[in-house]
Chains A and B, each alone.
Chain A
Amino acid sequence: MIRLWFKSGSPWIWLTAAAVSACLIMVLGVLSLVTIRGLGHFWPANVARIDYQEPGGQQQTIIGEIVDTSSTPAIMARSAGYKMADGETDLLQYQLKTGNRDLTGADFRWIQARHIKQQDYPENLTVIERREWGNFYGEPIAVKEEGKTIATGAAALAIALDKMAEAKLLIDEIKQLEKNEIGKINYAIDHLRLQQKKLELENRWDAAAQQQLAAEKAVYETSYKALQDKLAGLYAQTKRSSLVMKTESGVEADIPFFKIVRIYQPNTMSVLAKLSHYFSKVGEFLADDPREANTEGGIFPAIFGTIVMVLMMSVIVTPFGVIAAVYLREYAKQGFTTRLIRIAVNNLAGVPSVVYGVFGLGFFVYILGGNIDRLFFPEYAPAPVFGTPGLLWASITLALLTLPVVIVSTEEGLARIPSAIREGSLALGATKFETLWQTVLPMASPAMMTGLILAVARAAGEVAPLMLVGVVKLAPALPLDGNAPFLHLDRKFMHLGFHIYDVGFQSPNVEAARPLVYATSLLLVLVIVALNLAAIVIRNNLREKYRALEG
């Protein structure tokens, strides 16, 4: 019977069906893994207080969030060196995020469930998100101002929140001063230095020029001095008040308010409060600068860098891709040349992306960039301007990389336009170019859009070539800012994909950074899936439209 069944061929059909199912499971599995881990990161988990005693050790109290659970069968636990009693079937372990890295040296620890004596969730356990050293877990004791205690116990928290809000205003002011105003002056002073060097190179560094530059410099330096004084004053203010916290082991720690990002007591929070906390964290993640070597805070510069780079790339790749596709479809005689070009396009699509990176680094950065520097920016020497990886070269390299996507997609759109439309236009006396410009291209524009969207999706996720031609882990300034010429093509920038690689694999504290990487991955996946779905929808609509035209 089984033989008959096999002869019918149906088991093989089921097997091929299983392959499809497996592929679908893999896609959905990866997407849901990223989604669950990425979304979970911002939820304020309850903080447990655990009385823990290992055999032969002292009883200790541990405070922390349970972030992971692992269960090991007894036999494996034994081979891994754990002492297991006869009756035990599993070794249950929890990973706790205990924070307080400045005091204990580690953010995380594993504990064994069987040694937990007692576990509860007291309401006064407080989590403090700090600008340095990660989270702090403990109980608030007092608020101090200029060395004097102004509030203790339960009242401390309310006052602490007020103080924190005050400190936040101060910090915003400091940031504004440091980043914008002082940054602007520094930029201007640097500009003066370059101007002087340029004049020297051109032998025009005479008394008049010297005087003028010195005068300008003096103006800047005075305002710089004023700002510095103001800044010093602000900094002095920030040091005035602090929050005194007690850890589980009874150590008291003094945390200045300007080092605090957030204070909350997760065990008392309602679901609504937690939701609001959640969205405020998501907002911070999307809009803030990174802290602590990218492992905390936001990823705004990476998002911004990715968008600017992708826009630049689109501006470059679209005309070239469309022209090449138009040539292949509308102008060239189908024959050897078009075949050759199609092979070239396919090869461009198939060449490993890292090879583009190598090409971009060698050709664009060192040869083109080096020569541009020599010709146009001699005053910057020996510091390179365009002779070093940067936004412009990254955009061009990725434009080259995504060119085939645009060509193939546009060509497909052009091919679907019924020839009757072209012939009609030509018969009415339009030239070939007019036909193309007025009828064919507008009709094919959704196809171009599809190509561009796919190119953008590809560029947003590409990392290997960018590592060589302009992406850095932490860019000091955004590529777009208020200093002329506003768009700084020579600057290095941050990128979501590289951020994932860097934080996930190059970070000193991978364990603490991992949730953030999942969140970044989720963002990137969402963007790319959305772009691809948009492309699919546009393409399907287009097909329907032409089918109607043909019919």
Chain B
Amino acid sequence: MSEKIANTSDTQANAAASATYQQWRLLKDALAGYGVVAGGMAVIVAVVMIFFYLLYVVYPLFVPATAQELKRYLVPQPQAGKTLLLATEEQNEVAARFTQSGQIIFFQLATGDVLKTLKIAIPDGVQITSFAQGSPLNDGIVAYGLSNGTAIVLRNQYKTTYPDNVRVITPAISYPLGEQAVVLDDSGAAINKIAVKSNSDGTVIVAQSADKLRVVSLAKEESLFADESALARTESVLTPSIANITQLLLEKEGNTLYVLSDDKLLSIVDLSDKASPVLVQALELVGQGQKITAASFLNGDLSLMIGDSSGHVAQWTKVRAANNKQAIQKIRDFKVADKPVLQIVAEQRRKGFITVDAAGDVGVYNSTAERELIKQPIGITPMDSIALSPRADAFLLQFNDGSLQYWQLQNEHPEVSFRSLWQQVWYESYPKPDYIWQSSASNNDFEPKYSLIPLVFGTLKAAFYAMLIATPLALLGAMYTAYFMAPPMRQYVKPAIELMGALPTVILGFLAGLWLAPFIEEHLSGLFAMLIIVPLGVMGFAFAWQYLPKSLQQKMPEGCEALLLVPVILVSAWLAFAISVPMEAWLFNGTLRDWFKNEWGIGYDQRNALVVGFAMGFAVIPSIFSIAEDAIFSVPKSLTVGSLALGATPWQTMSKVVLLTASPGIFSAVMIGLGRAVGETMIVLMATGNTPVMDVSIFQGLRTLAANIAVEMPESEVGSSHYRILFLTALVLFMFTFIFNTLAEVIRQRLREKYSSL
């Protein structure tokens, strides 16, 4: 009884459960459906995300620079006199105004509130007659030339402290030569022009007084006993003197002095020997009727930017001329305005500069990229003074009406332009415009060279040689395997060749770099001999084969020629290497390498394009082979049987029917192989010297885009131009393979449809 009740309740429960269970099943089914669709879409999302992420990193390279006015206020302490120099510090918090009366007024950049005023010790009755910023700019050195033939050099630096975790910037000045003015001219004539460089080794001052150009060097002498090192003074006067000097520019090593005079003339004075300066070159920088109106060094002091009255700014730099002498030469020209250029201020960390012209515009330029980044009309003229912050992210303008404007600059990647990436650029100290990739160096004022051409060239060169070796082998092999080979053998051969593709490229690269490269270097002639002797040997064997007794021929099942040929190839390759040595000695009287070098001037790198060709060819063969073999194998049997029935030989059927039908598939196989060769990293990284040279020679090394990423990415600073350019190269690789793969895939899909319709 109780059992029965239990049973009924069970059935009821079952019915109820069944209904919920059915619902649950349907729900599960629906959920799974959504999940699977989402999973499928995720694949597309992944591809799109990679693309857009790369683009997202690259995009800032192409954002135009902008300038924005932040603040406008009155000049602090206008009674302190005319501004000689405006300067700001690193964090854009504090600015300094150096005045004609010898005062230095530090004020807050954001508000114009005065923080501190200092005054240099000038004797009574003496005026400041000249003023110059020292070189390099970021050292904060300035020099005052006084009316009594003396000069004061001071260094203006900022100390950053963090009391209570708040950044406090305190301005400070120091006197590298002491607070007392240094006597430059004993006769006491006023210093009309002055230039200075000062660093830990000493100070060099060049001054013009009483029509004489004086050079005073105060080198530090390390003394063992005294705490303070003594200064060794060397002085001299340039003869003959230069008249009507407008500006003196002393480069940061203190070895070369550039003198601008007569509004057009540049004289270069060699100061290597401070005791006897030598005038080495003098030339006119501007054309007839033009005047030099502004001049400045570019960061690094290797180039002079010369602005003239026609509104041009030209870059002049020392170039090694044909006679191996350095001469100054104009390498670039910017059209800034129609009116004269008033002032040029160089950036302190990049090869950029900012100009002010008589039309009232401020322009921001980059010399390497030859780019005008910003042209900003300011409106108010005339301008008095301009300061560019050390990070070149802000500038300060002073106007004659006593107002100051504080502008912010957004200019992250000025050195990148289409031109600097893809065209020849004339870099400082290079004899001619060139394609160069050199992304980093030890010193600060290095000009990064971001030409992608050598990398693209290296990539294509490596891919070319790899394809040269892989394509014939893979395609011929695919033809045989798919069409002529005996099916039982094909079952083993195809996976064996595909196994080539599975071998880690790092092992191929290792073997290429440490085994193949020395081997080829030693047996170069043998390698070339092999390319001739092996095909001949194969042909000879094939020719002889038909004359062998029929009984022997029949022992070999059809479609196993490849097996027979293995010993033939091994023997003929051995023969090639064996005879190459005496042949080489007899034909080239030494080694083939020496012969190439002596007769043709072709140098030999151990890790070269030939080695890469072999190693990467090896890696690419299976990709091409596999796809081409599939395409040939799946040519419908009706076509080949029909062709054979009509009396065509197997080879005619192959070349006239099968290949033609499968040609799209073969094309797509080659495309995919090329895609792989272009993107391969480890082999080229290990088997080439990774030197970004552009040399078509097969015996020279190269650097590819992919290897470049692997080498430089780990050291690149996140967000820097270098980082973004590396992402750009990754994007280029991505696009390249994307195009090739999509093309190949579309062709294969079409082919599949065609086959199924046949």
Contacts and interface: CB of A to CB of B under 8 A. Distances in A.
Same complex = yes
* Secondary structure dominating the interface of B: helix
A505 B686 contact: yes
Given A348-B47, A504-B686, A33 B511 contact: yes
Given A348-B43, A514-B514, A431 B539 contact: no
Nearest to B54: A359
Interface in B30-81: 32-33, 35-37, 39-44, 46-47, 49-50, 53-54, 57
B706 interface: yes
Given A347-B742, A350-B741, A23 B473 contact: yes
B747 to A, nearest CB: 11
A232 B40 CA distance: 61
A343 B745 contact: yes
A375 interface: no
Given A9-B652, A25-B566, A353-B681, A73 B585 contact: yes
Contacts of A498: 506
Nearest to B573: A25
Contacts of A357: 709-710, 713
Interface string B736-755: 01101110111001000000
Contact of B562 (A9, A21, A73, A437): A21
Interface in A348-400: 348-359, 361-363, 366, 400
Contacts of B679: 350-355
Contacts of A18: 476, 534-535, 538, 562, 565, 568-569
Contact of A431 (B25, B472, B706, B713): B25
Interface of B: 25-26, 28-29, 32-33, 35-37, 39-44, 46-47, 49-50, 53-54, 57, 472-477, 479-481, 484-485, 493, 495-497, 499-500, 502-511, 513-515, 534-535, 538-539, 541-543, 545-546, 561-566, 568-570, 581-582, 584-585, 589-591, 594, 618, 621, 625, 649-652, 654-655, 672, 675-676, 678-682, 685-686, 706, 709-710, 713-714, 718, 726-727, 730, 733-734, 737-738, 740-742, 744-746, 749
A169 interface: no
Contact of A27 (B39, B50, B497, B509): B497
A100 B726 CA distance: 45
A7 to B, nearest CB: 8
A14 B565 contact: yes
Nearest to B679: A352
Contact of B507 (A17, A332, A524): A524
A330 B36 contact: yes
Nearest 3 pairs between A and B by C-beta?
A352-B679, A9-B651, A461-B504
A467 B710 contact: yes
A223 interface: no
A342 B746 CA distance: 10
Interface string A452-482: 0010011011111001100000000000000
A521 interface: yes
Contacts of B714: 467-468
Nearest to A513: B514
A427 interface: no
Interface residues of A, number: 98
11 contacts: A20-B481, A21-B569, A26-B618, A330-B36, A354-B706, A355-B54, A355-B730, A463-B506, A467-B710, A514-B514, A532-B495
Contacts of A25: 566, 569-570
A110 interface: no
Contacts of A27: 496-497, 499-500
Given A14-B542, A16-B480, A23 B500 contact: yes
Given A18-B538, A21-B566, A21-B568, 6 more contacts: A19-B476, A20-B497, A341-B44, A345-B43, A348-B43, A403-B46
A180 to B, nearest CB: 32
A168 B50 CA distance: 52
Contacts of B618: 26, 30
A13 B39 contact: no
Secondary structure call for the A interface: helix
A532 B502 contact: yes
Given A19-B473, A354-B710, A11 B43 contact: no
Interface of A: 2, 5, 8-27, 30, 33-34, 73, 75-76, 79, 320, 323-324, 326-328, 330-332, 339-359, 361-363, 366, 400, 403, 407, 431-434, 436-437, 454, 457-458, 460-464, 467-468, 497-498, 500-501, 504-505, 510, 514, 517, 521, 524-525, 528-529, 532, 536
B504 A431 contact: no
Nearest to B508: A30
A350 B57 contact: no
B737 A463 contact: no
Nearest to B675: A350
Contacts of B564: 17
A328 B46 contact: no
B681 A352 contact: yes
Nearest to A461: B504
A75 B569 contact: no
Contacts of B500: 23, 26-27
B33 A461 contact: no
Please indicate which of the listed interface residues B35, B585, B709, B744 has the most CB atoms of chain A within 10 Å of its own CB. Answer: B709
Contact of A354 (B474, B543, B568, B681): B681
B533 to A, nearest CB: 12
Contacts of A433: 28-29, 32-33
Nearest to A521: B507
Contacts of B740: 350
Contacts of B584: 76
Query: Of residues B473, B565, B621, B733, which shows the largest number of chain A Cβ atoms within 10 Å of its Cβ?
Result: B565
Contacts of B744: 346
B742 A343 contact: yes
A23 B477 contact: yes
